[in-house]
Amino acid sequence: MTVIWTLLRLLRWTTDYFDGKGISNPRLDAELLLAHVLELDRVGLYLNYERPLNEAELDAIRPLVKRRGQREPLQYLLGQTEFWSLPFEVTPAVLIPRADTEILVEEALNRVDAEVGELLDVGTGSGAIAISLATELADWQVSALDLSVEALEVARRNAERNGVAGQVRFLQADLAQLPQQQYDLIVSNPPYVAQAEWDELMPEVRCFEPRQALLAEDNGLDCYRKLTSQAQNRLKPRGWLLVEIGYRQAEAVQQLFTAAGLQDVFVRDDYAGLPRVVGGCHR
């Protein structure tokens, strides 16, 4: 007897399959993946539960379900994600933007006291931070730096997609040598995972996201040392350096900021109550 795969039947099967693979939100991932292939929104899924799927649709869905079952991130399969209520293309060349990183954007905006200024995003990846800030700071000049040429290509496309291509300048360079100019704001979500923590990461992160954007030497503190050592020469008076941190790093990063001569050093928690951002000002 031939099995008729209705949308609802496939959705239930996919949810059970993902659950068996240890995926944390199996139903949501199944809905988003099927909606993507079938070019429906989630409401459209509900309205089409009883619709049989044809072979072409099943052939398009099967390999993506298999890849997600192997823990490949859903965002890479969809080719996009949302950050700061904006759409962003993501590929395996860039880290997937997380909602927690929006805390860094919030803190940057909290420290803007002029209509015009210059901002540097160090390790821009997909461009999520730089582009989000550019959309909020229409008269600011934003520079986005990354070592990866492939990541910068993704970021450029995202700037075009979000209408700020003329406002954001992309730079291919190492954070160990920031551009020879001064900024009102320097923001960064740098690599901060220590080698000892690598095996603790979820398979989606450890096996698929770019390693060079995650791992840092010196117990995860190497990039913070390089950024703070340059801060006084790269910030304008009253300029701010703001960085995202791992939840175990707040005290160590605060000490680096203080040792570098930055003032008004603070820690901002995320909405789960974990330390997320450290900032300091050049007086």
Tell me the CB-side half-sphere exposure of residue 123, using CA atoms within 13 A. 24
CB atoms closer than 10 angstroms to residue 138: 10
Q: Looking at residues 180-184, what average pLDDT do you find?
A: 95
At 185 the pLDDT is 97
Where helices occur in the chain by DSSP H, the ranges are: 7-20, 26-38, 42-47, 55-69, 74-78, 102-110, 128-136, 149-161, 203-206, 222-234, 250-259
For the sheet containing 168-172, what is the strand order? 168-172, 141-146, 118-122, 183-188, 235-244, 275-282, 263-269
Closest to 139 (Cα-Cα) out of 162, 119, 160: 119
At 42 the pLDDT is 84
DSSP 128-164: HHHHHHHHH-TTSEEEEEES-HHHHHHHHHHHHHTT-
Parallel/antiparallel/unpaired status of strands 235-244 and 275-282: antiparallel
Q: Which two tokens stand for residue 91?
A: 């590929």
pLDDT band at 2; cut points 50, 70, 90: confident
At 1 the pLDDT is 58
- Chain-centre distance of CA 243, in angstroms? 13
Q: Which two tokens stand for residue 25?
A: 């939100």
C-alpha to C-alpha distance for 166 and 170, rounded to whole angstroms: 11
Position of tokens 């703001």?
A: 242
Closest to 265 (Cα-Cα) out of 249, 274, 277, 276: 277
* Residue 92 contacts residue 268 (beta carbons within 8 Å): no
C-alpha to C-alpha distance for 85 and 57, rounded to whole angstroms: 30
Please provide the average confidence, as pLDDT, over all residues in the chain: 95
Where helices occur in 48-148 by DSSP H, the ranges are: 55-69, 74-78, 102-110, 128-136
What are the tens digits of pLDDT across the range 194-250?
Answer: 999 999 999 999 999 999 999 999 999 999 999 999 999 999 999 999 999 998 999
pLDDT at 109 over 70: yes
pLDDT at 189 over 90: yes
* Residue 234 contacts residue 120 (beta carbons within 8 Å): yes
Q: Looking at residues 88-113, what average pLDDT do you find?
A: 97
Q: Which two tokens stand for residue 49?
A: 């539960």
Q: Looking at residues 130-140, what average pLDDT do you find?
A: 97
Amino acid making up residue 70 = Q
**% of the chain beyond a pLDDT of 70:** 100
At 3 the pLDDT is 80
